[in-house]
Structure 1
């Protein structure tokens, strides 16, 4: 990769509960792809619903940072490695997260919705016995609930994450069908000077679109949104920089001439 998007800003390793890949393996794959830099964004989802099949989304921040610092030193002349986190937002966690982001020197903070009123849409019981439309609406409403109480993040992650796991995925989903609430979310984020991400995970989850879908990304730009990061949401090396050529084309088609990376919580705008 010699041009286009040269940073992957949403990446997980074995410090996240849903990955078993050593961090160095992710770094080596990124190097082999010619990336200029990556931002690790390990999961932290306190108060995650406890079920027999659920994972423990706590995070050993000390060990995570220690390993990242070690790799930063080893690879300092080859690739930039930045310290990020993906916070699983829920309204009751507001004070906990504020203290965390004040105390830790993150480069980048993604705020994401994984748990909606005690359920993660990853599991079928979120949809059980309910219409898909209602489930998707509840997910978007929960984003507004989070935004009403918490603002110490840089971008909101995979805004339509819920469609990855719906009974019909995105076959009956579109920006137009949820326009009113999606516009409310986008306008709120812009008013807070927060960004969104183009999460290429939608491609490797078989949606044929990123998360959020292309029309939502276009609408964010139309409304005046400027901050947009790009990440593959990789949990294994083979997914790093997934469909980044396609992602660059999407951003261009939506009116962007740049993408965004973060250092010390400050945005940097890089040409596509």
Structure 2
């Protein structure tokens, strides 16, 4: 089976220590048809800490993502030249919280070195990253209110042109289930999720099947088969598969399972991006 990995992190992501050279070597050893390095760039933390009001700083995991972005893109650009002809290496970025600083998003989008942009929402405006929220202190009504605000923000992101594929749509469920065994039923948001997918399809944008939930205790991909099918039903055509690896060892983890979800949803091909344009690989 031909495998790809279009969502990975290296030492240039705040939550990873994966050596970028070893990551590239591992991707080559695996014989990946496409390998994208997509280090974190959170728009709402683009500037240095002192740029933000002190009372709001707790909302941000880290600061100065502008420096992280430049470090990652510069390193990958050099590695693309080094590995030319030996690995289909893609210079990507995971662009978080696009609406929370569109000026930062515009800077990233204008950089011609970037092949591929994943658009993600890791935290709702005015809230901490889903990773840091203490769900045990929340009622189910509060949790559903948070999820409603999440999907509304993703809906607004889906109308923009600042990304190529929407990242891990159901990321919002990960930590409440993994840590607190809270199984929120998001079917109540199916109407707005369908509209998100309709916007993506109309704008020629894709979604990713993020396989990290299969190895991290969630038990499914982000999104799962139901919502991958819904994207196709809304006219979506572009699917990428990503491990969301933060270690060398996890590169391409469960990629075959992700392809299986795409196939079960009715897709006959998956995509990767070069110079912001999709290229397709048959999976039939």
TM (norm. structure 2) is: 0.86
Structure 1 Cα separation of the partners of residues 37 and 162 of structure 2: 18
Residue 14 (str. 1) matches residue 22 (str. 2): no
Residue 50 (str. 1) matches residue 57 (str. 2): yes
Structure 2 Cα separation of the partners of residues 126 and 81 of structure 1: 38
Shift of 1:153: 0.9
Q: Which one is further off, 246-255 or 120-129?
A: 120-129
User: 1:37 — aligned with what?
Assistant: 34
- Give a deviation string over 1:138-188, Cα, whole Å, max 9, x none: 21111123334x322101100111111125778634563431121121112
Alpha-carbon spacing, 1:25–1:187, altered in 2? closer, same or farther (3 Å): same
- Give a deviation string over 1:211-242, Cα, whole Å, max 9, x none: 01210001111221101111100110121111
Q: Which one is further off, 100-109 or 213-222?
A: 100-109
Residues 50-69 of structure 1: pairs in structure 2 closer than 5 A: 50-51=57-58, 54-56=61-63, 58-60=65-67, 61-69=69-77
Contact 1:196–1:227, Cα closer than 8 Å, also in 2: yes
Question: What is the root-mean-square deviation of aligned Cα atoms in Å?
Answer: 2.3
Structure 2 Cα separation of the partners of residues 226 and 53 of structure 1: 34
Alpha-carbon spacing, 1:111–1:130, altered in 2? closer, same or farther (3 Å): same
Residue 166 (str. 1) matches residue 163 (str. 2): no
1:137 to 135, 148, 169: 148
1:94 to 102, 110, 129: 102
User: Helix, strand or coil for the counterpart of 2:114?
Assistant: coil
Contact 1:163–1:170, Cα closer than 8 Å, also in 2: no
Contact 1:170–1:207, Cα closer than 8 Å, also in 2: no
Structure 2: unaligned runs, 5 residues or longer = 46-55
- Determine which structure has the larger helix proportion and give its number: 2
Residue 250 (str. 1) matches residue 261 (str. 2): yes
Structure 2 Cα separation of the partners of residues 53 and 144 of structure 1: 22
Alpha-carbon spacing, 1:57–1:212, altered in 2? closer, same or farther (3 Å): farther
Residue 218 (str. 1) matches residue 229 (str. 2): yes
Shift of 1:53: 9.0
